Amino acid sequence: MAALQTENLVRRYGALLVTDNVSLDIRSGELHALIGPNGAGKTTLINQLSGELRSNAGRIHFDGQEITSAPVHQRARSGLLRSYQITSIFEEFTVLENAALAAVGTSLNAWRFWRPMLDDSRARAAAEEAVEVAGLTAFAETVAGELAYGQRRQLELAMTLAAKPKFLLLDEPMAGMSAKESAAVTELLRGLKRRYTILLVEHDMDAVFALADRISVLVYGRVIFTGTADEIRAHPEVRAVYLGEETD
Domain boundary, last residue among 121, 143, 164: 164
135, 213: one domain: no
157, 171: one domain: no
Biggest alpha carbon–alpha carbon distance for the chain: 66
pLDDT at 244 over 70: no
Residue 48 CB contacts under 8 Å (≥ 6 apart), including other chains: 9, 11, 19, 54, 55, 60
119, 56: one domain: no
Determine the pLDDT at residue 1: 73
Domain boundary, last residue among 127, 144, 164: 164
110, 68: one domain: no
Mean pLDDT of 151-176: 91
pLDDT at 162 over 70: yes
Percent of all residues in the chain with a pLDDT value above 90, rounded to a whole number: 65
Question: Amino acid identity, residue 26?
Answer: I
pLDDT at 246 over 60: no
Question: Amino acid identity, residue 25?
Answer: D
Residue 66 pLDDT grade (very low, low, confident, very high; cuts 50, 70, 90)? very high
75, 170: one domain: yes
Mean pLDDT of 168-175: 91
* Count of the separate structural domains present in the chain: 2
User: What are the tens digits of pLDDT across the range 17-50?
Assistant: 999 999 999 999 999 999 998 889 999 999 999 9
Mean pLDDT of 132-139: 94
**HEC letters along 81-96:** EEECCCCCCCCCCEHH
185, 73: one domain: yes
59, 116: one domain: no
98, 23: one domain: no
Determine the pLDDT at residue 7: 97
Strand bridging mode 31-35 / 214-219:
parallel
Residue 221 pLDDT grade (very low, low, confident, very high; cuts 50, 70, 90)? very high
pLDDT at 2 over 80: yes
pLDDT at 173 over 80: yes
Mean pLDDT of 213-221: 95
pLDDT at 88 over 50: yes
Backbone φ and ψ for 203, nearest 5 degrees, come out as -90, -15
User: What are the tens digits of pLDDT across the range 94-130?
Assistant: 999 999 988 886 654 544 554 566 667 888 899 999 9
173, 242: one domain: yes
Residue 247 pLDDT grade (very low, low, confident, very high; cuts 50, 70, 90)? very low
Domain boundary, last residue among 164, 189, 213: 164
Domain range for 170 is: 1-79+165-248
134, 27: one domain: no
Q: Which helix (H) or strand (E) is 42 found in, with range?
A: helix 42-50
Determine the pLDDT at residue 176: 85
pLDDT at 245 over 60: no
139, 160: one domain: yes
245, 169: one domain: yes
**Mean pLDDT value across the chain:** 88
Give the CATH number of the domain where residue 14 resides.
Answer: 3.40.50.300
More confident residue, 30 or 77: 30
